[in-house]
Structure 1
Amino acid sequence: MGNTVVQHGGTATTVADAGAAAHAVTKGSIIARIERLPANAMQVRARILIGAATFFDGFDVIVIAATLPLLIQKWGLTPGQVGFLIASGSIGQLIGAFLFPSLAERYGRVRSIAWSSGIIGLTSIACGFAPSFAVFVALRIVQGLGLGGELPVAATYINEITRAHGRGRFVLLYEIVFPIGLLASNALGAWIVPRFGWEAMYFIGGVPLVLFFLLRTLVPESPRWLGERGRMHEAGDALAAFEATVKQPLPPLGNLAEFEAMASRHPKRRRLDLIGPAYLKRTIAVALLWMTCGVLQYGLSTWLPTIYKTVYHAPLQLALNLAVAASVLGVLGSLTCALIVDKVGRKPVINWSFVLCAVSLVFAGVFVAQSVYVVATFCALALGFMACGFITAYVYTPELYPTSIRAFGCGLGGAWLKIAAIFAPALVGKTLMGGNMNVAFYALAVVPVVAAVAVHFMGIETKGKVLEQLEV
């Protein structure tokens, strides 16, 4: 029977495909239809709106760095209180890293992202009105629920709506909004905080509240998740929403039998399988990968403006500007990674970026007695290389797990980051501010080396493969 082509609002599909979409949606056909999807306007919309949530996740998670010097002065905080303040958000993020992926597995990816965005925005605004240190810390813990939950679920969703070919580039060009959010937070903080006060930064961070109302009406749910839940009609509708924005004619569905076999080859996994024989090595590699990012992102970058100001006696404006420079390298490193990850592969990008990060930290320790500019240069290089590995984790981690436990697997990775983020600021801060800065830099250099070794020997290469091919 021939496949007669019909037009639907500028989209060409075949009668056979339309019938399949309406009457025979299966797990195999869901994979097949995603794999034939070219870039389209609905994917762009999803990437922009969910990218906005991820942007403000990055913005709000690091805003404490720009505001910390004034908060210390405002409330007369001791070093212990400063460490607790930095870690407080991570306490909530640790809970959120389990809570929202669990909600995503049960209620859907988009709904979970919307809920987390609402919490992020509402509590950020409330932080700007906090009357005391205790209230501010409590709000940061609550905000952490959303900050910890949004990233792993968003990464899961973007992976699930993307075909294998070019998935790394597509996902990482979306994920780059997170380091851009970090950069924007540092850059705006350097300009806004000295002029308008620390409160203004938290009011800006309230923008994600808007996404709570918009996401569910403007972005389709993950067809893969809907298919896994047996909601085939809704999966077909979600796929149709993506297909309806494709400008050129869609090719006929091919290799359906292969995709059906791929979809039914493995049993539905449970959360305990993450630490079972099938996935234990992957989970260990993921844990060390995310812990490294947590130690360096929260244990080092959060402290940098304060270190430059108190140890090297740099003016506040210069200290903030030097932190911005580190964020710029983070964005440039992430962009470079996005452009090469589909050609080079996930593992080489992670391993080389972490090794170069370690080398930069060693040099920071060697030249710690030099000027603030020398130390800031090596710290910026270290964070730039770290950003390459960090952003790759967002495409690599979801690829390692099946749909039934993908969001929770990503959340578990994020939880290790948050555990590191809870303890690293106090430990690193005590060493750095205690006059042993070279020791702190050498110790920090060991962390990415350990992660690189783990990923090399325990991880698998995932580039160019359909997500279901990677299941075991």
Structure 2
Amino acid sequence: MAETGSGERFDVAAFIDDRPIGWREITTLVVVSIVLFIDGFDMYFFGKILPAVADGLGVTPAGMAGVVTAQQVGMAIGAFLMPPLADRIGRKPVLAICLLSFGILSLWTAYSTTPTMMAWLRGISGIFFSAMLPISLAFLAEMTPRRRRASFMAIALVCFSGANVASGAMTAWMLDIYGWQIGFWLGGLLPLLGLPLLLLVHESLPFRVARNPADPQIAATIQRIDPQAGVIGGEAFHLGEKAKPVEQKGPLAMFSAPYRLKTAILWCACFLAMGNIALLANWLPTYFQELGGVPIQEFAKYMMIGFVGGALGTLSMGWWMDRVNPHILIATFFFVDALAIASLGFLPVGTVIFVIGLVVWNYCQVGGQTGINTIATLGYPPEMRSSGIGWAGGSGRIGGIAFPAAGAFALQAMLPLQTIMVVIAIPAVLVAVLILWLGAVERRSPGVEPQLEPATA
């Protein structure tokens, strides 16, 4: 880093990367992890209690398809709308807007009296809670030293998937006592309680530099983080020396020449991967109840064990991505994911081998999606990072509309459970192929430095 003073150049990227892991980095990780846990709870709990909600509203589970679709439409809108706003006004204010909004809307949803009312409320809520993941990951990536970036993101995503475990525990032990409304009460209170945590962290420095290198808040923030950095104000702040300048501004820059093909492949991979996640999150407990005769409370207990695999998959993905070729790693996860999904339709429920199948499926599905999220986050520069991962996620939310709709059709048609699970496995194979293609494209493209090479400690 150059000597600083009025008019001197100051590399903010080097300042962040050269810092040891201290209490400020840990605080950022903890805050982002809690925010993602809150977001994950709101995203995952509904599918687990869907049959109970349907019974409470006087319809069949298939009659809730409109609510599932509205939620996914709202999530798609939010993924395209909110991350570009975070690239314009900042990570923290948009996260605050999202927490406040979906907290209030979730509490309101607890008082729904018809599927139509619930569909509107879940649809609007989806606009806000779908944006939390890309914005939070962009924020964490930008404020974490490169050598620990993938690992920190993996830890935060463990908390996101850990909310899956929490929602499973809620279903198994609180649903019969408090009724289906308990999910929405908890889903509303948690974000409101988490809102003050944003006061503990600084706004992203790379975001501020990308937006306006002359922003006086940059020097003030650096001085608070490290008084020994030698910043006195008036420095020419910049982000690294290797990244090529982005000529086009705004989220459409991801379609410029260095990023165009990568963006298209990421969108296709997210469409398939997140479509499958949405399908299984919303319909898998119902499939096993309606087609396999397994009560949702009992299935939730099996899933809680299976979710351990998701946490392990996320942590191991983050660890390995700091050390080995990420594209081969992610593709391997999705090939095994496909085998695990198909096997669930044939394994006897309640046996040890069935629980192992759930663990392997969660390990590969959650770990593989962690890898995709990391590639999407670190593959774009700060001025479009939130938009890059957000819009890739938006394509996934479109898959989240199409796939659950197809899942509802399969339920209405009463297709055999084995047939449904084999068909669901096919997109995972396609994702693996796309990720291998993406790796070949990035090896040939000079683009921005992707920050995905194995880093030394």
TM-score range, shorter chain: 0.7 to 0.9
User: Is contact 1:152-1:414 (8 Å) kept?
Assistant: yes
How large is the Cα RMSD of the aligned pairs?
Answer: 2.9
Q: Map residues 69-108 of structure 1 onto 2, 5 A cutoff.
A: 69-108=51-90
Residue in structure 2 matching 1:59, options 32, 41, 45: 41
Using the alignment, how far apart are the partners of 1:137 and 1:260 within structure 2? Answer: 46
What is the aligned partner in structure 2 of residue 388 from structure 1?
367
- What is the identity, as a one-letter code, of the residue corresponding to 1:234? Q
Using the alignment, how far apart are the partners of 1:326 and 1:404 within structure 2? Answer: 38
What is the aligned partner in structure 1 of residue 210 from structure 2?
228
- Could you tell me the TM-score, scaled by structure 2's length? 0.88
- What is the identity, as a one-letter code, of the residue corresponding to 1:240? Q
Using the alignment, how far apart are the partners of 1:335 and 1:47 within structure 2? Answer: 14
Residue in structure 2 matching 1:295, options 272, 275, 285: 275
How far residue 168 of structure 1 moved from its aligned partner, in angstroms, is 0.9
Using the alignment, how far apart are the partners of 2:384 and 2:34 within structure 1? Answer: 25
1:277–1:132 distance in 2 versus 1, CA, 3 Å: same
Q: Map residues 63-212 of structure 1 onto 2, 5 A cutoff.
A: 63-206=45-188, 207-212=190-195
User: Is contact 1:50-1:154 (8 Å) kept?
Assistant: yes
| Aligned positions, number | 440
- Could you tell me the TM-score, scaled by structure 1's length? 0.85
User: Is contact 1:42-1:241 (8 Å) kept?
Assistant: no
Query: Any idea what the Cα deviations from partners look like across 1:65-89, whole Å, max 9, x if unmatched?
Result: 2321211111222454322222221
What is the aligned partner in structure 2 of residue 430 from structure 1?
409
How far residue 335 of structure 1 moved from its aligned partner, in angstroms, is 2.2
The alignment status of 1:238 with 2:218, answered yes or no, reads no
- What is the identity, as a one-letter code, of the residue corresponding to 2:226? E
Using the alignment, how far apart are the partners of 1:69 and 1:439 within structure 2? Answer: 22
User: Is contact 2:279-2:404 (8 Å) kept?
Assistant: yes
1:310–1:260 distance in 2 versus 1, CA, 3 Å: closer
What is the aligned partner in structure 2 of residue 6 from structure 1?
none
1:277–1:469 distance in 2 versus 1, CA, 3 Å: closer
SS at match of 1:303: helix
Using the alignment, how far apart are the partners of 1:45 and 1:436 within structure 2? Answer: 49
What is the aligned partner in structure 1 of residue 381 from structure 2?
402
Runs of 5+ in structure 1 lacking a partner?
A: 1-13
Residue in structure 2 matching 1:341, options 316, 321, 327: 321
- What is the identity, as a one-letter code, of the residue corresponding to 1:218? L
Using the alignment, how far apart are the partners of 1:142 and 1:167 within structure 2? Answer: 32
- What is the identity, as a one-letter code, of the residue corresponding to 1:71? V
Using the alignment, how far apart are the partners of 1:439 and 1:54 within structure 2? Answer: 34
1:115–1:257 distance in 2 versus 1, CA, 3 Å: closer
SS at match of 1:344: coil
User: Is contact 1:288-1:450 (8 Å) kept?
Assistant: no
1:380–1:291 distance in 2 versus 1, CA, 3 Å: farther
What is the aligned partner in structure 1 of residue 420 from structure 2?
440
User: Is contact 2:302-2:350 (8 Å) kept?
Assistant: no
SS at match of 1:302: helix
Using the alignment, how far apart are the partners of 2:61 and 2:171 within structure 1? Answer: 22
Using the alignment, how far apart are the partners of 1:37 and 1:141 within structure 2? Answer: 42
1:164–1:24 distance in 2 versus 1, CA, 3 Å: farther
How far residue 375 of structure 1 moved from its aligned partner, in angstroms, is 5.6
How far residue 377 of structure 1 moved from its aligned partner, in angstroms, is 4.8
Query: Any idea what the Cα deviations from partners look like across 1:385-429, whole Å, max 9, x if unmatched?
Result: 111111122221111112221111111111012111112112123
Residue in structure 2 matching 1:261, options 241, 244, 248: 241
Runs of 5+ in structure 2 lacking a partner?
A: 452-457
- What is the identity, as a one-letter code, of the residue corresponding to 1:349? L
